[in-house]
Amino acid sequence: MTRKIIAILEKVAGRAAEFEVLPSAKPEFGHYSTNLPLRLGKKRGENPLALARELAYKIRQQAPPDLFAKVDVAEPGFINFWLSEKATQEEFAEIAADADYGRLDLLKGKRVMVEYTDPNPFKQFHIGHLMTNVIGESIARLYEANGAEVLRANYQGDVGTHVAKSIWGMMRLESELPNESAPLDKKVELLGRAYAAGAKAYKENEAAKAGIDGLNKKIYERSDPAVNKLYDQGRKWSLDHFETLYARLGTKFVHYFFESEVGSVGLEIVRAHPDVFVESQGAVIFQGENYGLHNRVFINSLGLPTYEAKELGLNKLKFDLYHPDASLVITANEINEYFRVLMKAMELVMPEVAKKTTHIGHGMLRLPSGKMSSRTGEVIAAETLIEQIKEAVAKKVAGRKELTKKEQEEIKEKVALSAIRYSVLKQGIGRDIVFDINKSISFQGDSGPYLQYTYARLRSILRKAKSEKVKMKNWDSRKLATEEESVLIRKMAEFPDIVERGVKTHAPNILATYLYELANTANVLYEAEPILKDEDKSRRAARLVLVETAANVLKNGLGFLGIETPEKI
RNA sequence: GCCCUCGUAGUUCAACGGACAGAACGGAGGUUUCCUAAACCUUAAAUCGAGGUUCGAUUCCUCGCGAGGGUACCA
């Protein structure tokens, strides 16, 4: 609808200035508002209110008849539009007819690589990785919703000190190593203990530290068959475990990059550009200080590539292999500064890659006790969190005799994941989340379960209508005329704009907020008047189609956030 | 020290330079013969401080205060 109004405004005023058409902030400002006269008045040095009156007059003359019920002006120079009942009904007929409503083709033909999650083999998949996954998945889906082809990538650190610590621990626990046929959770449990033991020893024991550093070198060189065996074993266990999580989280990566494979590529790039990278104190560094940033080491004094050099290699590989039109890297924002330096270096050595690469830093997950850090040993595993939430959901479904065991299990899983997802996605991407398991994941109010509940009760009406063989064919949108119905229709009409803005600004929270508002308007309609008891059969049919369409929009929108919508909850 | 974020009701968060700063939880009160009360409605409650730019500033600029992150061989 805003597109139609923009077209009319451009017809009467020309493309003389930047302006916006937005759903009105208050009912007294109509259904849609524009600031065009304010912007145009400023540009031309004319009185905006007079301009608004003049434009409003032209719009009344030139707009299609029956589109607006009223066009009015307001201080200091807004034009407000009231949609006619007929236009609202026609809008709804269009929305209802489109099964893919909300799927756009603005980015059709574009290929976008999105890298996210990035856990480290041999280490825990913790709630920080979960958060990155949730955000990355929603951004990937928003791109898909806008028509882009999305390639999901995951970059996993399979070399480095953390690996050496784990191998060291595995050696201590050799007698307890499960064999290959043991269940995965046993293997993961052992890896967890191995890493903890290695990390502790590294900090507290000089001899162990030297041993681990030595192991690190052996791992890098693959020079010791016994070490290689443990390495290959542990790496596989870890990756198999991650795979179960990706399946559970609904993420399908097309490519897994590993630190072990990008190092040599990065080294070559750095070595090939002595003009950009210089020697300093035995290392090879990039002098970010020349660009108002800070210096960073790309090759350490042992001649090994650091994370920085590896990242250059990684990004080169992405483009060599897939030639994306855009490449996004999603990580926690603690590495924002590091990435700025990296991007500057990248601009100098591979400008075409740098131009298409964007880093998106998201906020950190914090515990009420303070920061979440893998060094304090206070991290919570992703699975632990999910299980805790599931227990809370279980209490809700326990007494529901009409649900089968299978349905209950499905509800527990999907509701728990939606609670987590929504609480992460409803706020701005860059902001930290204080994660109090008891409080921050609520099932009431502005929450994932609320949205799922709304969907389920809408579907419940439709199920009942079907079982009672209530007819929905030959419905007539002209039967929809109450305030609740019109508000819901206009809310649904906002959906495409939201999907577009969400991807342009990389802001899933815009969509989350929208869906909450949509659910609220749907619930208001639900409470206002029982639909199935409507004596007017034709009106009842139209209202059922309205319910069906609202449920569809909810389902599509939640899908873009990665939130599933069970039929029953 | 320098660089980068951030500071909004009691709490957790919104607000793409726009109109009277929105929600949720918590507080006070109300709505269940109905398709699921995980709901709906009413109500009290906030922009860190001081300047500036603008018709208009939570948003942009400057200074101050406060919190977090980064600042050479971790990522």
pLDDT in tens, A237-296: 999 999 999 999 999 999 999 999 999 999 999 999 999 999 999 999 999 999 999 999
Determine the distance between A38 (CA) and B7 (C1') in angstroms: 31
Range A408-423 average pLDDT: 94
Q: Alpha helices of A366-440 — where are they, by DSSP H?
A: 382-397, 405-425, 437-440
CA distance A316 to A463: 52
Residues A42-72 as b/e (b if ≥16 CB within 10 A, e otherwise) read eeeeeebbebbbbbbebbeeebeeebbeebb
Q: Which residue is closest to B56 in terms of CA–C1' distance?
A: A76
Q: CA–C1' span, A334 to B3, in Å?
A: 14
The pLDDT assigned to A369 comes to 61
The nucleotide lying nearest A434 (C-alpha to C1') is B12
Judged by C1' against the alpha carbon of A76, the nearest nucleotide is B55
Distance A353 CA to B13 C1' (A): 36
Residue keyed to tokens 């009842």 = A540
* Average pLDDT for A125-154: 97
The per-residue pLDDT for range A536-564, each reduced to its tens digit, is: 889 999 999 999 999 999 999 999 999 99
CA pair distance A104, A144, nearest whole angstrom: 9
Comparing C-alpha atoms, which of A140, A146, A134, A152 is closest to residue A426? A134
Q: How far is the CA of A394 from the C1' of B65 (A)?
A: 47
Q: Looking at residues A498-508, what average pLDDT do you find?
A: 96
Q: Nearest nt (C1') to A445 (CA)? A: B24
Q: Tell me the nt nearest to A442, Cα to C1'.
A: B25
pLDDT tens, position by position, A424-480? 999 999 999 887 777 767 899 999 999 999 999 999 999 999 988 888 888 999 999
Query: CA–C1' span, A428 to B7, in Å?
Result: 15
Q: Which nucleotides of B are covered by protein (CB under 7 A)?
A: 3-6, 11-16, 18-20, 23-26, 34-41, 55-56, 68-75
- As a whole number of angstroms, the distance between CA A59 and CA A166 comes to 71
Angstrom CA distances, A568 to A61, A164, A204, A379, A397, stand at 50, 48, 53, 34, 11
Quick count: other Cβ atoms within 10 Å of Cβ A15?
8
The predicted-structure confidence for A359-370, as pLDDT tens digits, reads as follows: 999 998 887 665
CA–C1' span, A133 to B9, in Å? 32
**Of all nucleotides in the shown strands, which has a C1' nearest the CA of A525?**
B40
Of residues A517 and A203, more confidence is placed in: A517
pLDDT(A185) > 90: yes
CA distance to A492, A520, A521, per residue, from A488 (Å): 6, 9, 6
CA A384, A390, A393 angle in degrees (round to 5)?
155
- pLDDT at position A375: 41
The answer to pTM > 0.90 is: yes
Closest protein CA to C1' of nucleotide B41, residue: A524
Q: Is the pLDDT of residue A112 over 90?
A: yes
User: Tell me: the pLDDT tens digits for A302-355?
Assistant: 899 999 999 999 999 999 999 999 999 999 999 999 999 999 999 999 999 999
Q: Which residue is nearest to nucleotide B12 (CA to C1')?
A: A440
The Å distance, CA of A536 to C1' of B22, is 37
pLDDT of A470: 83
Lowest-confidence region among A187-201, A398-412, A488-502, A534-548? A398-412
- DSSP-derived letter for residue A159 is S
Q: Which nucleotide has the shortest C1'-to-CA distance from A531?
A: B35
User: What average pLDDT does range A383-402 have in this prediction?
Assistant: 88
Check whether A486 has a pLDDT greater than 90.
yes
What is the nearest nucleotide to A433, using C1' and CA? B12
Q: Which residue is nearest to nucleotide B23 (CA to C1')?
A: A446
Residue A316 (CA) to nucleotide B62 (C1'), in angstroms, measures: 42
Closest nt to residue A157, judged CA to C1': B75
Mean pLDDT of chain A: 93
For A70-92, how does the pLDDT look when each residue is reduced to its tens digit (9 = 90+)?
Answer: 999 998 999 999 999 999 999 99
List the A563 CA – B71 C1' distance (angstroms): 39
| A335 nearest nt, CA–C1' | B70
Please report which confidence band the pLDDT of residue A221 belongs to, taking 50, 70 and 90 as the band edges. Answer: confident
| Residue–nucleotide distance: A236 CA to B23 C1' (Å) | 46
C-alpha to C-alpha distance for A112 and A92, rounded to whole angstroms: 33
Task: Determine the 3-state secondary structure of A32 from DSSP.
Answer: strand
- CA atom of A420 to C1′ atom of B74, Å: 29
Q: What are phi and psi of A157, to 5 degrees?
A: -85, 95
Whether the pLDDT of residue A374 is over 50: the answer is no
